[in-house]
Chains A and B, each alone.
Chain A
Amino acid sequence: MYWNEKCECMPCEELRALQEERLRKTVGRVYCEVPFYRRALQERGLGPHDIQSLDDFKKLPFTTKEDLRDNYPYGLFAVPLSEVVRLHASSGTTGKPTVVGYTRRDLDVWAEVMARALTCCGATKHSMIHNAYGYGLFTGGLGIHYGAERVGASVIPVSGGHTKRQVLIMKDFGSTILTCTPSYALYLAEVMEEMGISKGDLKLKGGLFGAEPWSENMRHQIEKHLGLIALDIYGISEIIGPGVAVECPAKQGLHIFEDHFLAEIIDPETGEQLPPGEYGELVITTITKEALPLLRYRTRDITAIIPDPCPCGRTHVRIERIKGRTDDMLVIRGVNVFPSQIEEVLFRISHTEPHYLIIVERREQLDELEVWVEVSEAVFSDEVRKLEHLEHQIQGEINDILGISVRVKLVEPKTLERSEGKAKRVIDRRQL
């Protein structure tokens, strides 16, 4: 079943022509409207007319998260703020978030791609969609929400937390589609069991799970315990949010919505394009975004393009499940966390180069983050309450920046491993 068969199953040549036309428009627009891109193109000796086909594509400069940070908050917007009707934000590599904007038409595109994604997992206007993604600056909640309304389904905007209440709502409201992070889906299943509610008491049929890495094994667990078809959804707020790519019921990779987003895989070291089938960094170019069009945005996610046609009939290219990251970003309960954000907090408090270690574990399906901090003479005190205050201060400031609670443990100096090159800052003990 398709939401938009004409677009999703468009013959490849027609799709390519559409992509080239939209790419040309996008390049022309950013050249005129975004000084950052005009400079970047001029530095390469490129004018707006030098990009005619997808073959010219690799001449274009990359865009990175650092570029967004350097142009914080609105520097890369291609429309005046009066045209922007929505803002979202995700965590930046340091204290400041990455801000993304949407015009009315961008929201329309977002609802369209999310409607396609939800249709993949069986959503129709008869569905009851239980949306347990967080609502707010995070793109997850509202992204799913508008797609669900576009489909015509009934949306339950339950957001995150209050898990027992969520189970009751799923049961009493008759939820048929569940959308949340895969780890939260497993947690819901556990709480259901504790409450004596089985999958037979629910009407779940399908679900979209994403915003964090997961595995086939987790898919089996979710499907077994919740009695639904679990599909992977990929999104990144800089590009649009959830709805950049989604698995179809064939469960053989995620279709990129190629009439809106162009995907390439590059070698993260050299920046060279890699052939289909080879793993590398996913790079995405938006070709319909108005407020924040991005050329060759480096997602830092590692995957490969699947060249073969999909049995489902969609012509849009597929990528493999995300295998990892090229940077040290962690996803904790759906929230992006960069060790540099934690380092900045520690530096601010201790005024010296902090030695720290981040330990991630998954207990009862929920991610827990522990930060070990070496006690330097600068922060040491002979009074217990001052050291406890220090722990709380670190905890509080990390919480303020990341929006998640962490446990802080003070450790003796030199207990954390020093390596010759880059210090090992993260131990991830999660088994996906």
Chain B
Amino acid sequence: MPIKQISVFLENKCGRLASVTRTLGNHEINIRAFSIADTTDFGILRLIVNQPEEAYRVLRSEGFTVSITDVIAVQIPDRPGGLADILELMQEAGVNIEYMYAFVEKVSLDALAVFRVESVAAAIKLMRERGIKVLSGSEVYNL
């Protein structure tokens, strides 16, 4: 069960990030996690929000270039080596990670990370087999 990530194209210029987040705020959309990938000229803002479909709609209507991508949210034991264990597991299974970033919020005592992988279904199956918790959309959006 993948979750929906919102990606937004941003030019590297003043006020663009503020403009995206203000638009979401005005529509009562709450940000759960985000990351920015940037180059000299442009950036890509990636967001996990409580209402992805609505966020996609409002950002588009404001004229942003937006896409929705399936990612997985994985629960990681919050201890030294917790992330390393999961990454090694994925590496051994040949799961290719395009990028990842962490949630600010925690689920009970565990940390939470977002993974963008080539084959979402295969990655979810792998996690399950190894007893690693993958969160569903409703679990993430309602954190």
A: residues with CB less than 8 A from B are 375-377, 380-384, 387-388, 409-415
Give 28 A-B contacts (CB < 8 Å), ordered by A residue: A375-B9, A375-B42, A376-B65, A377-B65, A380-B67, A381-B67, A382-B7, A382-B44, A382-B46, A382-B69, A382-B116, A383-B44, A383-B99, A383-B116, A387-B9, A387-B42, A410-B11, A411-B11, A411-B42, A412-B9, A412-B10, A412-B11, A412-B63, A412-B64, A412-B65, A413-B63, A413-B65, A415-B11
Given the known interface contacts A381-B67, A413-B64, A414-B63, the answer about A387 and B44 at a Cβ–Cβ threshold of 8 Å is yes
When chains A and B are docked, how far (Å) is the Cα of A415 from the Cα of B39? Answer: 19
* Minimal beta-carbon separation of B62 from chain A (angstroms): 10
Given the known interface contacts A409-B41, A410-B9, A410-B41, the answer about A382 and B67 at a Cβ–Cβ threshold of 8 Å is yes
Given the known interface contacts A377-B66, A382-B69, A388-B39, the answer about A412 and B7 at a Cβ–Cβ threshold of 8 Å is no
Can you name the residue of chain A whose Cβ is closest to the Cβ of B116? A382
Given the known interface contacts A412-B64, A413-B63, the answer about A384 and B11 at a Cβ–Cβ threshold of 8 Å is no
Q: Is B98 an interface residue (CB 8 A)?
A: yes
When chains A and B are docked, how far (Å) is the Cα of A411 from the Cα of B65? Answer: 10
B: residues with CB less than 8 A from A are 5, 7, 9-11, 16, 37, 39, 41-42, 44, 46, 63-67, 69, 98-99, 116
When chains A and B are docked, how far (Å) is the Cα of A375 from the Cα of B45? Answer: 14
When chains A and B are docked, how far (Å) is the Cα of A412 from the Cα of B12? Answer: 10
Check if B98 sits within 8 Å of A412, measured CB to CB: no
Can you name the residue of chain A whose Cβ is closest to the Cβ of B67? A380
Check if A382 sits within 8 Å of B5, measured CB to CB: yes
Q: Which residues of A contact B44 (CB under 8 A)?
A: 382-384, 387
Check if B99 sits within 8 Å of A377, measured CB to CB: no
* Minimal beta-carbon separation of A302 from chain B (angstroms): 36
* Minimal beta-carbon separation of A52 from chain B (angstroms): 63
* Minimal beta-carbon separation of B126 from chain A (angstroms): 21
Given pairs A410-B9, A410-B41, 13 additional interface contacts (CB within 8 A) = A375-B42, A380-B9, A382-B5, A382-B7, A382-B69, A384-B37, A384-B39, A387-B44, A410-B42, A412-B10, A412-B64, A413-B64, A414-B63
Point out which of A376, A387, A414 has the most chain B C-beta atoms below 10 A from its C-beta: A387
Q: Which residues of B contact A380 (CB under 8 A)?
A: 7, 9, 65-67
